[in-house]
Homo-oligomer: A and B are copies of this chain.
Amino acid sequence: MPHFPSPGDKASLEEGLLFTPKFDRDGLITVVAIGAEKGEVLMVAHMNEESLARTLETGEAWYWSRSRQSLWRKGETSGQLQHVVEMRTDCDQDALVIRVEVGGDGGCCHTGRHSCFYRVVKGDNGGPARLEKTH
Contact = CB atoms under 8 A, between A and B. Distances in A.
Interface of A: 4-5, 14-19, 30, 32, 34, 38-41, 43-44, 53, 56-57, 59, 86-91, 95-97, 109-111, 113, 116-121, 123-124, 128-133
Contacts of A44: 30, 32, 90, 95
Contacts of A57: 123-124
Contacts of A17: 119, 130-133
Contact of A131 (B16, B41, B113): B16
A18 B116 contact: no
Contacts of A111: 14-15, 91
A66 to B, nearest CB: 10
Contacts of A97: 41, 117
Nearest to A126: B57
21 contacts: A4-B128, A4-B129, A17-B119, A18-B130, A18-B131, A30-B44, A32-B41, A38-B39, A39-B41, A53-B124, A57-B124, A87-B121, A88-B117, A88-B120, A88-B121, A89-B131, A90-B116, A91-B111, A91-B113, A91-B118, A96-B121
Interchain residue pairs A-B with the least CB separation, the first 10: A90-B116, A19-B129, A44-B95, A87-B121, A88-B117, A17-B131, A91-B116, A41-B97, A97-B117, A90-B117
